[in-house]
A = this chain, B = another copy of it.
Amino acid sequence: MHGLTNQDLTLLFLAIGLLLLAARVCGELAQRLGQPSVLGELIAGILLGPTVLGAVMPDLPQTIFPAEGPVAVALDGVTTLAIVLFLLVAGMEVDLSVIWRQGRTALTVSLAGVVLPFGIGFLAGLTQPVALGMSPESDRLTFAVFLATAFSISALPVIARTLLDLNLYRSDLGMVVVGAAVLNDLFGWIVFAIVLGMMGEADDAAFGVAGTIVLTLAFALGVLTVGRWAVHRALPWIQAHTSWPGGVIGFALTLALLGAAFTEWIGVHGVFGAFLVGVAVGDSSHLRERTRAIISQFISFIFAPLFFASIGVTLDFARHFDLSLCVAVFLLACLGKVIGCTLGARWSGMSPPEAWAIGFGMNARGAMEIILGLLALRNGLINERMFVALVVMAIGTSMISGPLMRRVLRLEKPLRLGDVLHPKGFVKPLEAAERMAAIRQLVEAISDGRTLVRERIDPIVLAREALMSTGVGNGLAVPHGRIDGLTSPVVAVGISEAGLDFNAPDGLPAHLVFLILTPPDDDGAQVKILADIARTFSDPARAAAATRTRSMTEFRALLKAATGSEGQ
C-alpha cells in the first residue's frame, strides 16, 4: 500500500479533478448545442492533452497526465474501471423483451443492418488494410473482421436518447429501432470479443484462439440464460435481506467486476463481461427504477465523462488526423449501415420515410465505437490514424442521426417552457391586486422598446384576457397574445403569494401567472407552451415549490429538476 507518494497523490487528484471538470463543462456545452455529450467529453480531453494544451505549453499535459510511472498506472486503473462500469450501465439499458415484442421486423432490420456493413467492412479490410490504418503488428484477417465489426456495431444509448428527444421512443418505429439495435449490439460485442480472442495469440493468453472463442460464446450464452435466470431469482432476495439500495448496487457492481475479471482472464477485454452482466441485471423486472437510476446516473455522469476525457489526454489528435481516411471511413460506415437498415425496414413493410428514419437512426455509433476503437488501438490492431478516423466517424454518425430522422419524418422539436423564458421575465412579487394590472406588470418587466413594446403588447393581451379570462385552475393563469414583429416565443412568469382572481374553473386564485407572447405565425407554439406549463405544474407540490422560488435561476433549477425526474 506504499505505492503512491504524497506528490503522486497530488497529481492523481489534480488529474482526475481536471478531467472531470473539463469533461462535465464541455459535455454540458455540447448538449446545449444539441450534440451528444460524449463529443464534449472527448473535446475536453483533447483540450487538456497534447493536441491543444500541449501545443501551447509542450510539457504541461505530460506533467499532469504522465504516460509512465505510478500516476499513469493509477489513472489507467481508474479509467479502466470507469469504462467497465459504463458498459455495465450500457448493458442495463438493453431490454431483451423488446426483441420478442418487435419480432420479425426488428430481426430483419438488424440482420440487413449487420450483413451489409459487415460485408463492406470485411472486404475493405481485406483489400486495403494499409490504407485503412492496420497496425503493422496485426494480421489481415483479424483486421478485416475488426473493421467489419466496427462498421456494423450501433450505439444503443445514443439511439435511445435520440428517440427520446424526438418523442419516438414509445412509438412502433422507435421500438423497431431499439429492438434492432439491441440485437446489433449483442452480435457486435460477441464478434468483437472473438476478434480480441483472435489477437490473443500474440499475448500470453491462457487458451489459444479457439479456446478463447469457445469460452467467449459459452460465457455469453451462460450469462444470458442461466445467469439471467439466477439474477432474476437473486434480486428479490437481496432486496428483502440487505440494506436498500446498497445491497442491490453492490451486487450489480460485484457481478460486473467479476464478469470483467473472467472475460479478461479468458483473453477478451473486461468490458465484454461487464456489458453482458449489465444485460442480465438490467433485464430483471425486480430491479427497482430508483436503484437503476442511482447506478446509471452516478456512472453516466462521473465515470463515463472521466473515461472519454482521458482518451484525449494521451493522444495527439491533430498529428494523427488524416482527412481522406476520416472521409473514407465515414462514407463506408454510413453506406453499409443506412442502406442495409433501410432495405431491411422496407422488406418488413415500412413506408419509405419510416424506413429511411430507421436507417438514419441505426447509423449512430456513439460511445460504443470509440470504446471498440480504443481497445483495438491498445491491442495493436489499428494505428492512431485509424483510431482518430473511427472517433470522427462515431461522433459524426451520432450527430447527423437525430436531424436526419427529424427531416425524413418531418418532425418538430417539442417546445419547453425553459427554452422560451425571457431573461428578465421573473416577477416576484406580483404587486397588482387584480389580473389586468398583473398582466401589465409582467409586460412592463420584459419590455425593451424594440421588439417588445409595452404600448403595443398591453392592448392585445388585455383584450384577449377580457374576452375570456385565462385562469386554468390549479393556481395557474396563462394570459397570452400574438405579437407582430416577434420572431420567437417569449414567456414571463409572475408569482403572487396572495393569489389573483383569474376566474379559474376551479375557483382558486392564481399564484403562478405565465405571460405567453408568440409570433403572428406561431406554428402551434402557443399551444405547445401551454401544454408544457400544464404538464409541468399539474403536480400541486411542484406548483407550490415554484411559488417559493426567488429568482429566475431558482425557477429554472426547478424546471430542470422536473424535466430530469421525468426523463427517468
Interface set of A (CB-CB < 8 Å, partner B): 1-7, 9-14, 16-18, 20-21, 24, 28, 31, 37, 67-68, 70, 72-78, 80-81, 84, 203-205, 236-237, 239-247, 249-251, 253-254, 257-258, 260-261, 264-265, 267, 269-270, 286, 288, 290, 293-295, 297-298, 300-302, 305, 310, 314, 378, 551-557, 559-561, 563-565
Q: Report the bound CA distance from A294 to B75 in whole Å.
A: 24
- Tell me if A260 and B24 are in contact (CB < 8 A): no
- Tell me if B75 and A77 are in contact (CB < 8 A): yes
What is the distance, in angstroms, from A209's C-beta to the closest C-beta of chain B? 15
- Tell me if A17 and B80 are in contact (CB < 8 A): no
- Tell me if A258 and B6 are in contact (CB < 8 A): no
What is the distance, in angstroms, from A57's C-beta to the closest C-beta of chain B? 19
- Tell me if A6 and B267 are in contact (CB < 8 A): yes
- Tell me if A246 and B16 are in contact (CB < 8 A): no
Decide yes or no: A78 and B78 within 8 Å by CB, A9-B270, A249-B298 being known contacts. Answer: yes
- Tell me if A17 and B77 are in contact (CB < 8 A): no
- Tell me if A31 and B314 are in contact (CB < 8 A): no
- Tell me if B28 and A84 are in contact (CB < 8 A): no
- Tell me if B560 and A9 are in contact (CB < 8 A): no
Q: Report the bound CA distance from A554 to B288 in whole Å.
A: 12
Q: Which residues of B contact A267 (CB under 8 A)?
A: 6
What is the distance, in angstroms, from A388's C-beta to the closest C-beta of chain B? 15
Q: Report the bound CA distance from A18 to B250 in whole Å.
A: 11
Q: Which residues of B contact A240 (CB under 8 A)?
A: 552-557, 559-560
- Tell me if A1 and B314 are in contact (CB < 8 A): yes
Q: Which residues of B contact A14 (CB under 8 A)?
A: 257-258, 261, 265
- Tell me if A81 and B80 are in contact (CB < 8 A): no
6 new A-B contacts, CB < 8 A, other than A9-B80, A20-B257, A290-B565, are: A9-B269, A11-B261, A28-B242, A236-B554, A239-B560, A240-B555
What is the distance, in angstroms, from A514's C-beta to the closest C-beta of chain B? 17
The oligomer's copy count stands at 2
Decide yes or no: A73 and B3 within 8 Å by CB, A81-B16, A240-B553, A261-B17 being known contacts. Answer: yes
Q: Report the bound CA distance from A380 to B14 in whole Å.
A: 25
Q: Which residues of B contact A269 (CB under 8 A)?
A: 9
Kindly identify which residue among B74, B310, B378, B560 contacts A74, using a CB–CB cutoff of 8 Å: B74
Kindly identify which residue among B7, B18, B74, B560 contacts A76, using a CB–CB cutoff of 8 Å: B74
Kindly identify which residue among B10, B67, B553 contacts A237, using a CB–CB cutoff of 8 Å: B553
Q: Report the bound CA distance from A81 to B77 in whole Å.
A: 11
Q: Which residues of B contact A3 (CB under 8 A)?
A: 68, 72-73, 76-77
- Tell me if A81 and B78 are in contact (CB < 8 A): yes
- Tell me if B17 and A257 are in contact (CB < 8 A): yes
Decide yes or no: A244 and B205 within 8 Å by CB, A12-B77, A264-B6 being known contacts. Answer: no
Q: Which residues of B contact A305 (CB under 8 A)?
A: 250
Q: Report the bound CA distance from A239 to B21 in whole Å.
A: 16
Q: Which residues of B contact A247 (CB under 8 A)?
A: 24, 28
What is the distance, in angstroms, from A206's C-beta to the closest C-beta of chain B? 9
What is the distance, in angstroms, from A67's C-beta to the closest C-beta of chain B? 7
Most buried by B among A3, A80, A257, A286: A3
- Tell me if A80 and B4 are in contact (CB < 8 A): yes
Q: Report the bound CA distance from A31 to B243 in whole Å.
A: 9
- Tell me if B77 and A74 are in contact (CB < 8 A): yes
Q: Report the bound CA distance from A557 to B236 in whole Å.
A: 6
Decide yes or no: A4 and B77 within 8 Å by CB, A14-B261, A24-B250, A564-B245 being known contacts. Answer: yes
Decide yes or no: A298 and B294 within 8 Å by CB, A10-B265, A77-B12 being known contacts. Answer: yes
- Tell me if B78 and A239 are in contact (CB < 8 A): no
Q: Report the bound CA distance from A84 to B261 in whole Å.
A: 25
